[in-house]
Amino acid sequence: MGSVWFVGAGPGHPDLITVRGRDLLAQAGAVLYAGSLVSEAHMAFCPPACLVADSSGMTLEAMNAWLLEQSGRHETVVRLQTGDPSLYGALAEMAAPLLEAGVEVRSVPGVSSAMASAAAALETLTLPEITQTVILTRTEGRTPMPYGERLRDLARHRATLCIYLSATLMSKVADELRGAGWPNSSPILVVHKASWPGEERILRSTVGTFAALCREEGIRSQTMIIASPALDATRCENTPKSLLYDASFSHEYRQAATAPHAESSDG
């Protein structure tokens, strides 16, 4: 049997796939890609003889059967997923039957849309003295959230929230943030199809207005919502600075600069 690789395609643009992921596509005998989320442009990395299938119309069982069958025919089989396979990627439920059948399974990380969205808008997700924590989560919809993980519960931390899979639930996101004490004036960043050539859209808004704005703009899929006290830091005065690069801060590679001693006086 060959190996099945779960590869993160990244957020959208083909050049944001990792070098390892691109090289695996180049040697793959079969590729199953998430056509509803992954750009077809990634298929240009595949060899001409590669068998390519789109999983957008398949059930989990059908995908597992396809991967298992192709692993018996090819040395390298790739399951190409959007973003990173370990994040909302059904990795465990797809890998388990393959492992049980004796197939070698490996995974290659990818750039998540949270990072791509922050990069597109030139935002930082962490900021000294403001927030040092990033929460990757989603809003409760048809799939319930575990106890204690409702968006309202997590939002009470006032850390950076990167909210996935919630483009059709923007009003609920706003309600949950307000319920956790976020003022209507709190900044919100919405990025649709981060890094997709010609399709990326960046909207800056607030808790009180972003849901209506997104409805007006027709944004209903493949959208990252970022709520964070660190937003707009690159455009604000008096943004807190990291101690790591402060001249008065010592670390392994640099000694702190010392101020000259004042001359003493005998009075």
Query: With pLDDT > 70 as the criterion, what percentage of the chain qualifies?
Result: 89
Distance CA 12, CA 119 (A): 13
Confidence (pLDDT) at 17:
98
What DSSP string runs through the chain? --EEEEEE-BSS-GGGS-HHHHHHHHH-SEEEE-TTTS-GGGGGGS-TT-EEEE-TT--HHHHHHHHHHHHTT-SEEEEEESB-TTSSS-HHHHHHHHHHTT-EEEEE----HHHHHHHHTT--S-BTTTB--EEEEE--SSSPPPTT-SHHHHHTT-SEEEEES-GGGHHHHHHHHHHTT--TTSEEEEEESTT-TTT-EEEEEETTTHHHHHHHHT--SSEEEEE-TTTTGGGSTT----GGG-TT--BTTBPPP-PPPPPP---
Confidence (pLDDT) at 264:
44
Distance CA 97, CA 69 (A): 12
- Mean pLDDT across the chain, nearest whole number? 92
Confidence (pLDDT) at 215:
95
Which residue ranges make up each domain of the chain?
3-108, 113-235
Confidence (pLDDT) at 246:
66
Confidence (pLDDT) at 239:
67
Distance CA 204, CA 187 (A): 7
What one-letter code names the amino acid at 64?
A: N
Confidence (pLDDT) at 93:
96
Confidence (pLDDT) at 16:
98
Kindly state the tokens that stand for 12: 């959208």
Q: Which fold has domain 113-235?
A: 3.30.950
216 pLDDT more than 90: yes
Q: Are the beta carbons of 66 and 103 closer than 8 angstroms?
A: no
Mean pLDDT of 120-138: 96
Q: Are the beta carbons of 151 and 263 closer than 8 angstroms?
A: no
Confidence (pLDDT) at 136:
98
Strands 51-54 and 3-8: unpaired
Confidence (pLDDT) at 265:
44
CB atoms within 10 A of CB 102: 9
Q: How confident is the model at residue 141 (pLDDT cuts 50, 70, 90)?
A: confident
Confidence (pLDDT) at 267:
40
Confidence (pLDDT) at 241:
64
Confidence (pLDDT) at 262:
47
What residues contact residue 216 under an 8 Å CB cut-off, 6+ apart?
Answer: none
Range scoring the smallest mean pLDDT among 58-72, 128-142, 239-253: 239-253
Distance CA 146, CA 136 (A): 14
Confidence (pLDDT) at 248:
63
Mean pLDDT of 20-43: 96
Mean pLDDT of 76-95: 96
pLDDT tens digit string along 229-267? 999 987 766 666 665 666 666 666 777 776 555 444 444
Q: Which fold has domain 3-108?
A: Cobalt-precorrin-4 Transmethylase; domain 1 (3.40.1010)
